[in-house]
Structure 1
Amino acid sequence: MKKQTRSILLCLFMMAGIVIASCQKEATKAEPAPSEIPRQVQDLIKSRGFSTENVRNYNGGYLIEGDIFLDKETLAAETSTPNLRIAEVEQYRTNNLVRNLPRVIKIKVVNLGNAFIQGTDLAISRYNALGLSLTFQRVTSGTANVTIQGFYEGPSGGFITLGYAGFPTSSGNPYNSISMNTHPQAYGSNPNVNYVGSVIQHELGHCIGFRHTDYMNRAYSCGSSGAGNEGAGSIGAVHIPGTPTGPDAGSWMLACSNGGNRTFNTNDKVALNYLY
């Protein structure tokens, strides 16, 4: 998830994802620009149903659409599940979902401040209040299904990435990590718990199989032309019955944050109850 910024530092650079900055040092090599990613890789990303606009090499995989991480194994995997697209903006899920329900997903927060711990607890409480067959529990020791950790990246191009995650595995497990931006311009020097919790809530949505509500045209929440229609894809963009066929104001899975406290709207609850 990302948010718009209005910084006067016009040299800040952001392309709906994360960039590893070189600071102009000759000995440090920057990550390749989007145009430097091989055409066959871009074609593969597009075939999976994602935008190739501003895609970035990152941690042995690719960061796309601002807050979605695809490792190379996931990108290369084939699926026979059909892609179902019905309208421009509605609730969508990926082909892979969390299985073996009912199930408790254990979450651990690692090396992050109190606001991130409290934000995690807030996100967990919001999910658990829905009475789903999928529930969450924060743990401080032992094995966790999802680890929340930090990264540090400043804003650029009028946007800053607040956090990112991935999608469930083919074996039916949630994506195993959420990365949250610890840069002061992401959440400020004294992060608001409701704001942090809302972003964690969003990234958990990716971990259990939700795509952006406005993935077909992120201009709805991001205020830019975005990638438009991204085409059919094998990762999946399966419409969830009972959710709207028009713009869904306030959805917790909109691509860009509104800069404040955003939780489930009525249609979000319909989608979550349908799946879990």
Structure 2
Amino acid sequence: MKKIVMPFAVVCITAMTFVACKKDAKTSAETDAVPQSVLAKIQSQGFSTDAVKKVDNGYLVEGDIILTDENLNSKSTSPTLLIAQEEQYRTTNLVTRLPRTVTVSVTNLPTVYVLATQEAIGRYNALPNKRLTFQYISSGTGDIDIYGFNEGPSGGYITLGSSGFPTAAGDPFNQIKMNQNQYAYGSNPDQHYVASVIQHEMGHCIGFRHTDYMNRAYSCGGRRSNEGSAGVGAILIPGTPSTANAESFMLACSNGGNRTFNANDLIAMDYLY
């Protein structure tokens, strides 16, 4: 997830706006370091190729999404691939073998991150008619492990957290990285705000795309960008409306506050899980 820093870091020199995922403006030095063959695969999956970064377990796209080699080499089996307007969208792979409990752990992070993780888990588990639940574990490594990294602002945005999508085998993505840079959450992180970011990243782990992936300017500002029909990876979730989806928990950029499920998010969660 990403946060907007005006004019540049999580604390805009004049205003402090945090965005949840990533920036639109291309950082050519970063993108140029990624092979064109990889960029072509990323684009064919329906993801932005702006400011793509090589990371230890894949490629970071759209500010907070990690695409692994498995993701990039997989093919869609769904015929329901549409050009996005403002609806809710999911990835090709989802968590399977439902009903199912997914364990979540926190590794070497301050207590506020543990409390925020438990809060995010509580938000999911409070949903009605769910076939997917989460459980916090205090020892060992969970199906999803949350740990830290440190990266400063870049191009007016700062990444708050990052994660990836479910595997072809139907398992959730197994990592969420939370930024411990001073400009991400400050010296005294707000638990509810951190919980909202973790809730967003958990959404990616179980197959949600950004609600505004077709126009990141909706939550991030800057220029409009729409990847078009997308070869794979942007599947309409039936029942979600084709109107602006204000305050969705899966908007690309954070509003700096306590954002959770809106009415359309609940429809999407109920349909998928």
TM norm structure 1: 0.89
Q: Secondary structure at the match of 1:165?
A: strand
**CA distance 1:88–1:271, change in 2 (3 Å):** same
- Counterpart in the other structure of 1:256: 253
Cα distance in 2 for residues equivalent to 1:230 and 1:159: 24
Q: Given residue 146 of structure 1, which amino acid in structure 2 is its aligned partner?
A: I
What is the aligned length?
A: 258
Cα distance in 2 for residues equivalent to 1:275 and 1:229: 24
Q: Residue 197 of structure 2: which of 181, 189, 199 is its match?
A: 199
Cα distance in 1 for residues equivalent to 2:189 and 2:139: 25
Q: Residue 34 of structure 2: which of 37, 46, 68 is its match?
A: 37
- Please tell me whether the aligned partners of residues 194 and 261 of structure 1 are also in contact (alpha carbons under 8 angstroms): yes
Cα distance in 2 for residues equivalent to 1:80 and 1:55: 26
Cα distance in 2 for residues equivalent to 1:233 and 1:67: 21
Cα distance in 2 for residues equivalent to 1:43 and 1:263: 34
Matched, 1:124 2:110: no
- Please tell me whether the aligned partners of residues 3 and 157 of structure 2 are also in contact (alpha carbons under 8 angstroms): yes
Matched, 1:247 2:244: yes
Cα distance in 2 for residues equivalent to 1:230 and 1:36: 25
- Counterpart in the other structure of 1:152: 150
Deviation string 1:151-210 (CA, Å, 9 cap, x unpaired) is 001112111000000000011110001000001110010000000000000000000000
Which range is displaced more, 220-229 or 200-209?
Answer: 220-229
Cα distance in 2 for residues equivalent to 1:168 and 1:204: 11
Identity %: 55
Q: Given residue 70 of structure 1, which amino acid in structure 2 is its aligned partner?
A: L
Which range is displaced more, 196-205 or 35-44?
Answer: 35-44
- Counterpart in the other structure of 2:272: 275
1:60 CA drift (Å): 4.4
Structure 1 residues 1-276: aligned runs within 5 Å: 1-6=1-6, 7-8=12-13, 16=22, 33-85=30-82, 87-131=84-128, 132-234=130-232, 236-276=233-273
Deviation string 1:109-143 (CA, Å, 9 cap, x unpaired) is 00001111111011001000003110111001234
Q: Secondary structure at the match of 1:74?
A: helix
- Please tell me whether the aligned partners of residues 82 and 236 of structure 2 are also in contact (alpha carbons under 8 angstroms): yes
- Please tell me whether the aligned partners of residues 83 and 233 of structure 1 are also in contact (alpha carbons under 8 angstroms): no
Cα distance in 2 for residues equivalent to 1:106 and 1:3: 27
Cα distance in 2 for residues equivalent to 1:195 and 1:238: 28
Which runs of 5 or more residues in structure 1 are unaligned? Answer: 10-14, 18-30
Q: Given residue 251 of structure 2, which amino acid in structure 1 is its aligned partner?
A: L
- Counterpart in the other structure of 1:20: none
Cα distance in 2 for residues equivalent to 1:174 and 1:60: 15
- Please tell me whether the aligned partners of residues 32 and 56 of structure 1 are also in contact (alpha carbons under 8 angstroms): no
Q: Secondary structure at the match of 1:16?
A: coil
Q: Secondary structure at the match of 2:176?
A: strand
RMSD between aligned alpha carbons?
A: 1.9
Cα distance in 1 for residues equivalent to 2:78 and 2:164: 19
Q: Secondary structure at the match of 1:259?
A: coil
Deviation string 1:32-87 (CA, Å, 9 cap, x unpaired) is 52123222211111111111111111114210001000112221223332352254
- Please tell me whether the aligned partners of residues 22 and 253 of structure 2 are also in contact (alpha carbons under 8 angstroms): no
Q: Secondary structure at the match of 2:145?
A: strand
